[in-house]
Structure 1
Amino acid sequence: MRKRIIPDRLQDSHSHNHDWLNLNEIAEVEITSEDSEHPIESALLFKETSGWRASHPGKQTIRLLFTEPQSIRLVRLKFTEHQTQRTQQYQLRYSLDGGRSFQEIARQQWNFSPQGSTSETEEHQVDLTAVTLLELVIIPEISGGDAIASLSQLRLA
């Protein structure tokens, strides 16, 4: 009998080395707020590891405005929460016309729990060309309250 061991697809997609876009060179960032100790660069740049954190509770928006239209095949988002049990929702969308109109890529919820689920990594496979703006809206606690939004990592390929 012939057989072969094949890699797990999910594991393979997380460990694969992608040609990540250098956001520092190709995009301008707009944000609704940021904690001075956890600036947005900490989630977008390769050498940074501390991630971004909002300066106040509630809904937060992160926008990447590209200097030239971009082709995007993959969007990786990583969220981490070790302290508070909460249900977070995010919406990811893009624009081809500088923000006059948007198309949704994903809208998802995730339950964080310090005793169990403290990290969420999502990879959205897309086939987008001529993207001028990418927007991430985070609602850190869908029931309201004083939860602070954070983002460990945002990568584009």
Structure 2
Amino acid sequence: MHEKLRKKIMPSATGTAMPVPANTIDIIQHAEVIATSESESRPLDNIVDGSTGPGSSQWVAGSTGPQSLIFKFDAPQNITGIIYEIEEQEIARTQEVCFEVSTDSGAHFREILRHEYNFSPNGSTFQREELKLDLPRITDLKMTIKPDKGNLDCVAKLNYIAFQM
């Protein structure tokens, strides 16, 4: 039986399938994911399908501009790491990613990390990050993606994300 990702969409190419490591939170079983948008052809489910690496499946926002993904955990989680992958093969751009966490069911968030990535079709097209953290009792984790820091009309993309415990 194949279970589906619990998700909500807020208004406003094949990779390698990898098993979920034992020290990783099963997002499908233990969280709801709230997103600002998703494209029909590249839904949010793709970030948890186990496909990783260049050419893997990916979530693509359904609209341009900044997008947020909020992972609402069923029970507080002790997060020791975040692994995520982003791929952009079409447009040269500078993307910003920001992570925020909450320990009070999303009433308040605090920023824990902000990164920028430069993508270029003739150069760097893939980014994988493995962040080591110490975040006890997290109820919600928000990832905000600003697809271009300039004035390009771009969509946010994310190939994969996992939270280590």
Quickly name the TM-score band, shorter chain normalised: 0.7 to 0.9
Aligned residues with identical type, % of pairs:
32
Asked if the contact 2:51–2:57 (Cα under 8 Å) also holds between the matched residues in 1, the reply is no
Among 34, 39, 60, the residue aligned to 1:35: 39
Among 129, 134, 139, the residue aligned to 1:132: 139
Q: Runs of 4 or more off by more than 4 Å in structure 1?
A: none
1:68 counterpart residue number: 75
Aligned length: 141
Among 84, 88, 94, the residue aligned to 1:87: 94
**Whose helix fraction is larger, Structure 1's or Structure 2's?**
1
- For 2:71, give the aligned amino acid: L
1:147 counterpart residue number: 154
- State the SS of the aligned residue for 2:145: strand
Unpaired stretches in structure 1, ≥5 consecutive residues: 1-16
Unpaired stretches in structure 2, ≥5 consecutive residues: 1-20
CA RMSD of aligned residues (A): 1.4
2:61 paired with 1:54 = yes
Listed one character per residue, the Cα deviations across residues 93-149 of structure 1 (whole Å, up to 9, x for unaligned) are: 110011121222210111100011001111111111110000000000111321110
**Whose strand fraction is larger, Structure 1's or Structure 2's?**
2
In structure 2, the CA distance between the partners of 1:129 and 1:144, relative to structure 1 (3 Å rule), is same
> By how many angstroms is 1:44 displaced?
2.2
Asked if the contact 1:87–1:110 (Cα under 8 Å) also holds between the matched residues in 2, the reply is yes
2:121 paired with 1:117 = no
